[in-house]
Amino acid sequence: MIPQFFGNADAPLYGVYLPPKATPRDAGVVLCYPFGQEYMRAHRAYRQLALLLSKKGYHVLRFDYRGTGDSSGDIEDGVTAQDWIDDVGLAVNELRESTGVSSIAVVGLRLGALIAGVACAARNDIDQLIVWDPILDGFEYEHELLQEISNEKPSMWGGPSSGNLHDTEGSIHFNGFRLTQKFRESMRKLSLRDARPTTVKKILQAVSHEAPGFTDLKAAWQSHPGYRYQLAPAPHDWNYVDNFGGILLPQPVIQAIVNAMD
């Protein structure tokens, strides 16, 4: 693994590059993380996915969006969803320019799938897009988080027992991470149903469970000649929090993604 900073010098992004561990292919894979606690839960799965891909000869880059992880900035400094879409583009460009590969695939999980899908739909140089348990649009994600907050039992003092809340400034605080009002407003403009990544050659919608939203996206995208839907039943409680730093390692989906790269 090779840690690195890339992108704009005044606001660099942090990424980890994993070179091929087999005969190198003329192909690279960019991994787009989910947000917040889901990032933590998915970290080991993404590391394993990157390792398996590198063992098949792929160049792999996983990275942090601006204002998150080890990348520059703070989400409270006015970061928007469009900034994250632009960051996907920077990661694609970095992997292509640093390795010389001609083929690029982009993988996104949950909110990362929404960001990746919109980013790829705006380009004409992506060979494959894989959306894993995708968030279909920004409104859906907001609703999911707010519903989780409203379903929580209050503490003995009357406030939320977990610290999750929707504050008076319009920010959502969820599992120790904050989505600002500005970010939420920009996120509401995003929709995978409307993204239509027609220039992407191959699309895999990989899901760990059946859900009405996944079926809706399938209906919106299935006319694409390179589209494929695959159910790989696996754990998917991405927002669950315990006292032990629990992670998810949904092997069936990870293997389905690796197999799809052949």
Is 249 part of any domain?
yes
* Tens digits of residue pLDDT in 99-130: 999 999 999 999 999 999 999 999 999 999 99
Query: pLDDT band at residue 154, thresholds of 50, 70 and 90?
Result: low
Is 151 part of any domain?
no
CATH of the domain at 247: 3.40.50.1820
* Tens digits of residue pLDDT in 97-106: 999 999 999 9
220-225 contacts at long range (C-beta below 8 A, 24 or more positions apart): 220/192, 220/193, 220/196, 221/196, 224/197, 224/198, 224/200
Is 114 part of any domain?
yes
Domain hosting 58: range is 2-139+191-260
* Tens digits of residue pLDDT in 229-240: 999 999 887 766
Give the per-residue pLDDT at 145.
85
Is 158 part of any domain?
no
Is 184 part of any domain?
no
* Tens digits of residue pLDDT in 164-205: 777 777 777 767 678 888 999 999 999 999 998 999 999 999
Q: Which of 50, 49, 31 is nearest to 88 (CA)?
A: 31
* Tens digits of residue pLDDT in 40-69: 889 999 999 999 999 999 999 999 999 999
Is 179 part of any domain?
no
The count of structural domains within the chain is: 1
Q: How far is CA 107 from the centre of its chain?
A: 7
- CA separation for the pair 15, 18 (Å, rounded): 10
Is 181 part of any domain?
no
Is 6 part of any domain?
yes
Beta strands 202-207 and 128-132 are parallel
